[in-house]
């Protein structure tokens, strides 16, 4: 904060407190020539008269004490521009202290849970309650409280994965984040080519599309799209390229939504949470996410990806 704004805020705050005290003092006095018990002449609802009485002393001193408290508070804590207060308190130091206290209390529990392999940890109901709370605090804003995602944010319960659904892949996504890029092909394909490729992609998930569009669309797909999505459209988890045959569309599976994706491209970012969660908490969240779609006998190796 610049010196000008610091001085400006300080003067403004102090002036307001002094102004409140002067206003309170002025209104506490009886008007000249008036007597206690007299009416002001104002009548409401026929017989409700307004009396000209002084403010109750207890009420008056209560506000004076609040103003005095305000001065004391501003002297001890931040509030006057860049002045840090006589106690040197700051929200950053307080936050750091709270985090350290929480880490001291819960750190050993997290470390204990982090020593258990993710598939085994995912079967522990008590541990998954902890994972659910960590997920709600850190992940639900994008993926939803039920982890079923939204437009542009993947559903974590359907067993379909962009980068793989193994415990290691899920944990890597949480720790390091992901940056998915679907290039825009509108300029390369033209509007007619976009319509043809979109029709072919639409048909890959078992839906019918006009053959006069899917036939040339398949040829263009093999030339332009197969490098990432594979010649059969089943994707490539090493690249984060989605399986276009799974029938799961992160940005919408309508023909128009697919055309928009091909024409304009997509940018999907999963933020890295290594610094936010740490290794142990990320391990627990990974186990929780793993549990959402894990089935008995399912090794999570399959599943193409969330289709963009």
DSSP-assigned letters across all residues of 55-116: PPHHHHHHHHHHHHHHHHHHHHSS-BTTB--TT---HHHHHHHHHHHHHHHHHHHHHHHHTS
Q: Percent of the chain beyond pLDDT 70?
A: 94
Domain that holds residue 282: 92-177+272-293
> Does 30 have pLDDT greater than 80?
no
For residues 279 and 141, membership in a common domain is answered with yes
157: CATH: 1.10.760.10
> Does 118 have pLDDT greater than 70?
yes
In a domain, 222, yes or no: yes
In a domain, 223, yes or no: yes
The model's confidence at residue 40, banded by pLDDT at 50, 70 and 90, is: confident
For residues 143 and 276, membership in a common domain is answered with yes
For residues 157 and 285, membership in a common domain is answered with yes
For residues 288 and 159, membership in a common domain is answered with yes
What would you report as the CA-atom Rg of the chain, rounded to the nearest whole angstrom?
33
For residues 212 and 255, membership in a common domain is answered with yes
For residues 206 and 59, membership in a common domain is answered with no
In a domain, 81, yes or no: no
Q: What is the pTM of this model?
A: 0.72
| CB atoms closer than 10 angstroms to residue 135 | 21
> Does 209 have pLDDT greater than 70?
yes
- pLDDT tens digits, 41-95: 788 888 888 877 777 889 899 999 999 999 999 999 999 999 999 999 999 999 9
For residues 66 and 214, membership in a common domain is answered with no
Q: Percent of the chain beyond pLDDT 90?
A: 80
For residues 218 and 276, membership in a common domain is answered with no
For residues 161 and 287, membership in a common domain is answered with yes
- pLDDT tens digits, 284-301: 999 999 999 876 445 444
The total of structural domains in the chain comes to: 3
For residues 225 and 246, membership in a common domain is answered with yes
For residues 186 and 263, membership in a common domain is answered with yes
In a domain, 128, yes or no: yes
For residues 210 and 104, membership in a common domain is answered with no
In a domain, 301, yes or no: no
Q: Which pLDDT score is estimated for 295?
A: 61
**Cα dist. 35→23, 29, 30, 55, 57 in Å?**
21, 11, 8, 14, 17
- pLDDT tens digits, 131-177: 999 999 999 999 999 999 999 999 999 989 999 999 999 999 999 99
């Amino acid at each position: 904060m610049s010196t000008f704004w610091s001085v400006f805020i300080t003067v403004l705050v102090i002036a307001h407190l002094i102004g409140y005290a002067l206003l309170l003092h002025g209104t506490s006095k009886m008007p000249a020539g008036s007597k206690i018990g007299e009416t002001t002449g104002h009548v409401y609802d026929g017989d409700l008269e307004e009396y000209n009485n002084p403010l109750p002393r207890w009420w008056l001193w209560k506000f004076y004490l609040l103003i005095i408290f305000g001065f004391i508070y501003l002297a001890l804590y931040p509030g006057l521009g860049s002045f840090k207060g006589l106690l040197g308190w700051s929200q950053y130091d307080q936050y750091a202290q709270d985090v350290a206290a929480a880490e001291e209390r819960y750190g050993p529990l997290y470390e204990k849970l982090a020593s258990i392999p993710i598939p085994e940890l995912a079967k522990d109901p008590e541990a998954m309650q902890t994972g659910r709370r960590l997920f709600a605090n850190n992940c639900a804003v994008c993926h939803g409280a039920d982890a079923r995602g939204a437009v542009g944010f993947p559903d974590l319960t359907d067993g379909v994965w962009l980068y793989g659904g193994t415990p290691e892949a899920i944990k890597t996504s949480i720790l390091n984040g992901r940056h998915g890029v679907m290039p825009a092909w509108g300029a390369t394909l033209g509007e007619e080519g976009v319509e043809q490729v979109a029709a072919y992609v639409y048909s890959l998930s078992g839906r019918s599309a006009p053959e006069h569009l899917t036939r040339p669309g398949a040829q263009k797909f093999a030339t332009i799209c197969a490098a990432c999505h594979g010649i059969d459209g089943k994707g490539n988890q090493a690249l984060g390229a989605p399986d276009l045959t799974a029938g799961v569309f992160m940005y919408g599976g309508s023909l128009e939504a697919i055309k928009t994706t091909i024409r304009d491209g997509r940018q999907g970012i999963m933020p890295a949470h290594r610094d936010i969660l740490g290794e142990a908490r990320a391990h627990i969240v990974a186990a929780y996410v793993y549990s959402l779609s894990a089935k008995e006998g399912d090794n999570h190796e399959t599943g193409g990806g969330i289709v963009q």
